[in-house]
Structure 1
Amino acid sequence: MYNELQKRYVRESKKNKEQSEAIKNLTIKIHELEHNLQEQRQRIEQLECKKVSWKTNAVSEKRSRTSEGGITSHRDISEEKESCCSKYLELLLKEIKKLKKENGKLSAEKRALKNELAGLDKEFFEEVEDLKHAVQECLKLNYEYEKCLKQISVMYGLPFTAHL
């Protein structure tokens, strides 16, 4: 029972540490993605500003070159860039939502584990330490008893079997 309790405690402690690390890493990743999203939004704003200037240039350029044939205008290029950026932003937003959801789950699990560990007060751990010490003493005593049994069995010529 003691060993099971100790194993469970070690397992829960490791699990708690792993989840804390996972939450920390997810939080860092979320911040990085939010920062990246902010940069992309700024880039989109810059492209939109350029788009306005391109539109005025594109209209005059299109009028002058319509007689030459099918030349692609700046407007078509900016629309392609805008659609590419919007797809990238959508992917980033999906990833951020997924990470926030996972972060929330891990945070809830961490809180539950902390609440569970909070129920184990200092006295409990002192009792566990006392039990550890008692087990060690019992092992020493068992070893001494086994030695004595071996000596007695040799004295009386009886076969000693360690598994008994």
Structure 2
Amino acid sequence: MYDELQKRYVKEIKTNQEQSEAIKNLTTKIHELEHSLQEQRQRIEQLERKKVSWRTSAASGKKSRIPEGEVTSHRDISEKKESCCSKYLELLLKEIKKLKKENEKLSTERRALKTELAGLDEDFFEEIEDLKHAVQESVKLNNEYEKCLKQISVIYGLPYTAHL
């Protein structure tokens, strides 16, 4: 019984450590994704500013530069980039939300395990050790009683049944 409790305690500690590591990794990943999201937002803002400046220069009659080999207009390019960036941002946001939920779930479970482990202090294990010793002594005493009962049943000629 003590060994099982000790194994459970060790298992709980390992689980707790694994969950702490997972929480740490998830938090790091969330921060990375949030940073990436912020960079992408800045990039979108820059592209939008360029888009506005291209529109104003086109409206004022100036020629806009199109890189060589490009057949599409700047508006088509910026729309493609915007849609691509917005899809990427949506994916990042979904991933961040998912990771935050998982992080929250693991944090809650970790807190619950910590409170459960808090109840398993040294006194608890000493008490378990005392109970284990008492059970061993009780088993020895029961074996002695059984021997005596067998002897008494032989002396008085009574049938001894083991299930008693």
| TM-score for the superposition, normalised by structure 1 | 0.68
Aligned letter for 1:116? E
What per-residue deviation string (whole Å, max 9, x for no partner) do you get for residues 108-159 of structure 1?
A: 1001001101112231245567899xxxxxxxxxxxxxxxxxxxxxxxxxxx
What per-residue deviation string (whole Å, max 9, x for no partner) do you get for residues 13-50 of structure 1?
A: 11011000000100011011111111111111111110
Among all aligned residue pairs of Structure 1 and Structure 2, give the percentage whose two residues are the same amino acid: 83
SS of the residue aligned with 1:90? helix
Partner of 2:162: none
Q: Distance in 2 between matches of 1:13 and 1:108?
A: 15
| Aligned residues between the structures | 127
Q: Distance in 2 between matches of 1:31 and 1:131?
A: 50
Partner of 2:156: none
Mapped pair 1:21 → 2:21: yes
Partner of 2:121: 121
Shift of 1:73: 1.9
Answer whether contact 2:57 2:63 (CA < 8 A) is retained.
no
Structure 1: state its 5+ residue gaps.
65-70, 133-164
Q: Distance in 2 between matches of 1:8 and 1:127?
A: 16
SS of the residue aligned with 1:120? coil
Which one has the bigger helix percentage? 1
Q: Distance in 1 between matches of 2:130 and 2:106?
A: 34
Partner of 1:83: 83
Question: Matches of residues 39-58 of structure 1 in structure 2 within 5 Å?
Answer: 39-58=39-58
What per-residue deviation string (whole Å, max 9, x for no partner) do you get for residues 60-97 of structure 1?
A: 67999xxxxxx632111111111110000000000000
Aligned letter for 1:26? L
Answer whether contact 1:51 1:75 (CA < 8 A) is retained.
yes
Aligned letter for 1:9? Y
Partner of 2:106: 106
Partner of 1:2: 2
| TM-score for the superposition, normalised by structure 2 | 0.68
Q: Distance in 2 between matches of 1:63 and 1:23?
A: 54
Give runs of ≥4 in structure 1 deviating > 3 Å: 57-64, 125-132
Q: Distance in 1 between matches of 2:116 and 2:63?
A: 74
